[in-house]
Amino acid sequence: MSERLSAEIDVVNDAFTSAVKSRILGALPGLDTQTLEWLVMEHYQFSFANTGLLQAAVECTRKFAEPGVSAELQRNVEEEDGHAPMYKQGMLNIGTDMDRRTEFPATTAFLAGVADLCAPDPSRSLGALYATETAAIFEHETFFEICREISERRGHAYEGSLIKRFHDIHLEDGVEQGHKDGLAAFVDLDQSGREFPGGEAIDRERVRQGALDAIEVMRVWWDALLEKTLPRRVGAAS
């Protein structure tokens, strides 16, 4: 029996995300508050765009004969609804105004790259969204610590804060793990070579390629973020 595709993707994703997390959290005490604030502003752009990206994937994956994929992605859209405004307000409460952000080209390119993966190929879209939803766990773990550092440096209590609650929803309440697990069921549902009268089959190789493409897009983005923020260039692991 072949290894679950979700597990194969996780190995690649975990290598990338673990390297980034260890590097940025290892450098955290030595980074100035303005730099940490900048990182949060860039991450917020993904949060702000996320429901639109997910909705595009919902429409794309309606091409599948299996209706569960688009239904799961629609559930993710609904769970994420309202989270970006919460993120923005939570940071404003501790002194960071997201509206002061100026465009960073690498983030613009990153969001465009993810958008390109959300359509028109449904199998590739499924793989890409599985990879980005999985990486979201590491992102919230990382930004939980960054936001706590900013909050404490500015004399705000992190416990009980809106920004801590934002990250807790995604981590302790299991939103991101639920998204990962929900999509994994379909990532591992290989229908390659089969024909369905009601739509397309889930193609294992296209799912894998979509996931690997998404991890590469994320890796390039994080490489650019770390290059700008760390005192010397440290790239994410391949």
Q: Tell me the pLDDT tens digit for each residue of 164-196.
A: 999 999 999 989 999 999 999 999 999 988 999
**91 CB burial (10 A radius; 0-12, 13-18, 19+):** buried
φ/ψ bin of 174: left (φ > 0), alpha (ψ from -120 to 50), beta (otherwise) = left
pLDDT tens-digit series, residues 26-84: 999 999 999 999 999 999 999 999 999 999 999 999 999 999 999 999 999 999 999 99
Distances (CA, A) of 162 to 55, 128, 156, 216: 26, 30, 11, 32
Radius of gyration of the chain (CA): 18
- Whether 162 has a pLDDT exceeding 60, the answer reads yes
pTM (two decimals)? 0.93
- Whether 238 has a pLDDT exceeding 60, the answer reads no
Q: Do residues 222 and 13 touch, judged by C-beta distance below 8 A?
A: no
Q: Tell me, what's the pLDDT at 3?
A: 83
Three-class secondary structure of residue 228 per DSSP: helix
Element (H, E) at 30: none
Per-residue pLDDT band at 234 (split at 50, 70, 90): very low
